Structure 1
Amino acid sequence: MAVQFTRLGKEIAIAVKEGGPHPENNSRLRTAVQNAKAVNMPKDRVEAAIKRASEKDAKGYEEYVYEGYGPHGVPVLIETATDNTNRTVANVRSYFTKAGGSLGKTGSLDFIFQRKSIFRFDAAEDLDTDELELELIDGGLEELYIESDEEGNDIVVVQTSFEDFGNMQSLLEAKGIEVKSAKLERIALSHTTLTEEQAADVLKMIDKIEEDDDVQAVYHNME
Structure 2
Amino acid sequence: MAGHSHWAGIKHKKGLADKKRGKLFGKLSRAIIVAAQSGGGDPEANLGLRYAIERARKSSMPKDNIERAIQKGCGDAGAATFTEIVYEGYGVAGVAVLCVALTDNRNRTAGEVRKIFEVAGGNLGSTGCVSWMFDRKGLFTVDKTSVEEETLFELALESGADDVEDEGEVFQVTSSVESFQGILEALQEAEIETEVSEITHVPQNTVDLDASNGKKVLNLLEALEDQDDVQSVTANFNIPDEILAEVAG
| Aligned counterpart in structure 2 of residue 128 of structure 1, from 148, 151, 168 | 151
| Aligned counterpart in structure 2 of residue 215 of structure 1, from 224, 230, 235 | 230
Please give the secondary structure, in 2, of the residue aligned with 1:88.
helix
Please say if 1:196 is aligned against 2:217.
no
Q: Matches of 1:16 and 1:85 in 2, distance apart? A: 21
Q: Matches of 2:185 and 2:60 in 1, distance apart? A: 23
CA shift, 1:178, in A, is 9.1
TM-score (norm 2): 0.72
CA shift, 1:194, in A, is 2.4
Q: Matches of 1:130 and 1:71 in 2, distance apart? A: 36
| Aligned counterpart in structure 2 of residue 56 of structure 1, from 71, 74, 77 | 77
**CA distance change for structure 1 residues 28 and 156 in 2, over 3 Å: closer, same or farther?**
farther
Task: Give the aligned CA root-mean-square deviation in angstroms.
Answer: 3.2
CA shift, 1:25, in A, is 2.3
Deviation per CA, 1:99-145: give whole Å up to 9, x if none: 332211212113422210125689678x83454245323xxx20235
Please say if 1:144 is aligned against 2:164.
yes
Contact kept, 8 Å, 1:31 with 1:181, in 2: the verdict is: no
Task: Spell out the pairing of 1:162-177 with structure 2 (5 A cutoff).
Answer: 162-165=177-180
Q: Which residue of 1 aligns with 2:18?
A: none
CA shift, 1:82, in A, is 0.4
CA shift, 1:180, in A, is 8.2
Q: Which residue of 2 aligns with 1:80?
A: 101
Q: Matches of 2:49 and 2:199 in 1, distance apart? A: 14
Q: Which moved more, 1:16-25 or 1:173-182?
A: 173-182
**CA distance change for structure 1 residues 180 and 35 in 2, over 3 Å: closer, same or farther?**
farther
Deviation per CA, 1:161-206: give whole Å up to 9, x if none: 2354466568779999998864211212222222212222222222
Contact kept, 8 Å, 1:76 with 1:220, in 2: the verdict is: yes
Q: Matches of 1:113 and 1:5 in 2, distance apart? A: 27
Q: Matches of 2:99 and 2:131 in 1, distance apart? A: 13
Identity of aligned residues (%): 36
Q: How many residue pairs get matched?
A: 215
Contact kept, 8 Å, 1:38 with 1:181, in 2: the verdict is: no
Please say if 1:98 is aligned against 2:119.
yes
Contact kept, 8 Å, 2:133 with 2:205, in 1: the verdict is: yes
**CA distance change for structure 1 residues 169 and 91 in 2, over 3 Å: closer, same or farther?**
same
Please give the secondary structure, in 1, of the residue aligned with 2:27.
helix
Please give the secondary structure, in 2, of the residue aligned with 1:106.
coil
Q: Which residue of 2 aligns with 1:23?
A: 43
Q: Which residue of 2 aligns with 1:152?
A: none
Higher relative helix content? 2
Q: Matches of 2:120 and 2:194 in 1, distance apart? A: 38
